[in-house]
Amino acid sequence: MSKLLQDVVGELSKLPGVGRRTALRLAIHILRMERDSVAEMTESIDRFRNEIRYCSQCNNLSDEEVCPICADRERDHATICVVEQVADVLSVENTRQYRGMYHVLGGVISPMQGISPSDLKIDLLCERIARGGVKEVILAISTSVEGETTLFYLMNRLRQFPGLKVTSIARGIGFGDELEYVDELTITHALMNRREIE
């Protein structure tokens, strides 16, 4: 294999979810593309990496100091959905069921990976709430051990705001899952979040 091809495959395989075989297919595809298209792609990636900002209010990705969601006056500014990553904002937005604000933590507490609460945007969240106007915080954090640790930490930090409603997204058994294959933590959450059948 040519050294240039090896270098491109090596770089592409650094992307999450891209193994060496997929990286090789992508590299061959790039080689078949028009030179102008490749130049536009690399310029786009370069501009994205160098010019993208984080919203000063919610820590979401933005082209400006404030992201379009935070700038939207039509949205419910009294409700904040707290998520781990920017991709989670996109997942919730794709449901078209939520019209409030977001707050992106930038990860979860993970002592094994050296990520402490001070590494996340928790203080920024508390500053937002302290300014007033926020009535509910929805914690939409993953059900991993690190996610549960982060959820517990956030609930303790948010107790300092009297009258603030703190909720968590429902957790439990997914549609189509068979009970015998579901782990104990998921079953526990499903039992705790049960509701009356109408």
Q: What residue numbers bound the domain in which 46 lies?
A: 3-51
Q: Do 78 and 135 form a contact (C-beta atoms < 8 A)?
A: yes
Q: What mean pLDDT is reported for the chain? A: 89
Could you tell me if residue 10 is inside a domain? yes
Q: Specify the pLDDT at position 36.
A: 96
With CA atoms as reference, report the closest residue to 57 among 46, 68, 41. Answer: 68
Q: Same domain for 15 and 109?
A: no
User: Is residue 115 a part of any domain in this protein?
Assistant: yes
The label of the residue with tokens 């997929």 reads: 22
Query: Which residues have CB under 8 Å from 163's CB, separation 6+?
Result: 135
Q: Shortest CA distance to 143 belongs to which of 193, 96, 97?
A: 193
In this structure, the dihedral spanned by the alpha carbons of residues 175, 181, 187 and 193, taken in order and rounded to 10 degrees, is 0
Same domain, 34 and 89: no
User: What pLDDT shows up at residue 34?
Assistant: 96
CB 105 within 8 Å of CB 84: yes
Quote the number of domains for the chain: 2
What CA–CA distance (Å, rounded) separates 151 from 144?
10
Are 79 and 153 within one domain?
yes
- Residue 58 falls within a domain, yes or no? no
Same domain, 163 and 89: yes
Q: What is the CATH number of the domain that holds 114?
A: 3.40.1360.10
pLDDT, block means (10 residues), the chain with 198 residues: 90 94 95 95 94 94 92 96 94 90 95 92 96 94 87 93 89 68 72 63
